[in-house]
Amino acid sequence: MPLSPVKGTSQACEDVSTQAELLSRTHATNRETIQPITHLMNWGRVPLFMFMRVLFGLAILGCAGFAVILVRHGANAASKTPIPAAKVDQPLASTPGKESAVFAGGCFWGTQAVFERVKGVIHTAAGYSGGSAATATYDQVTTETTGHAESVEVVYDPSKITYGQLLRIFFSVAHDPTQLNRQGPDVGSSYRSAIFYVGDDQKRIANAYISQLDDAKVFQGRIVTEVTPLNGFYRAEGYHQDYALHNPENPYIQVCDRPKIEALKHQFPDLFVDYQGRH
């Protein structure tokens, strides 16, 4: 049967989106309504868009019915088996080294939370790819006019993990590659699914893997992931780095990203590491 490895997670996040829309209609959560609350936050560091994401999550987690949905979807996401390994890949390198890969799969908080817990990954960074350096800021990217996608740079040791293995994790647990220009509650081209390849080998492996998965009908829909050359990766603002690690009680993290970490742990136990941050 065709799979959707993070379908449970995406559905839970879509429930967030639906409830948030209803909440905004009921309570008129526009700029004027929220303004008294803004004094509690440093807006130079925490944009309004981010705060709304947290506000909606808090309201939703107050509903007992949604809590039941969350538990059910989280369990389903973590119990699925991984998708097939890439048939086209490079062998493990004979000596340690450093190579980089850049992936976009919705909000970069969750994508980074997954890859920083993978054995063989040296470090990760949340950032922006697809647009220019001049527009690589969170406030500009969220206008959906910059061409950027929220992305994660993964620096890894090719003697410990291959590019094909990273792709398998990306498609298995990091996001749903069948959603076009969105992931769960996050809608827009900045949340698109994309692989920004570095070199012809990465391009060849990525395209071959997408064809392999589509031909096998692994997912319920066709993969919409873009495979495009990396013209620049621009590191995001400091408060976005390791966001899920530093904000584990954030309702958005609990609903949309924590199940991805649990899925990684269950589906790839030999590759899972307990990341506690860079020291």
Residues serving a catalytic function are 107
Eight-class DSSP state of 98: -
CB 101 within 8 A of CB 114: no
Tokens representing residue 37 in the block: 């609350």
Tokens representing residue 175 in the block: 């996001």
Q: How far apart are CA 194 and CA 177, in angstroms?
A: 9
Q: Is the dihedral of CA 84, 86, 87, 91 positive or negative?
A: negative
Angle at which helices 258-267 and 7-27 pack, to 10 degrees?
Answer: 170
Beta-strand runs (E) in 157-252? 182-183, 186-187, 193-197, 226-229, 233-235
Q: How far apart are CA 122 and CA 127, in angstroms?
A: 17
The single residue listed with the structure tokens 């969750």 is 110
- Cβ-in-10-Å burial (0-12, 13-18, 19+) of 185 comes to buried
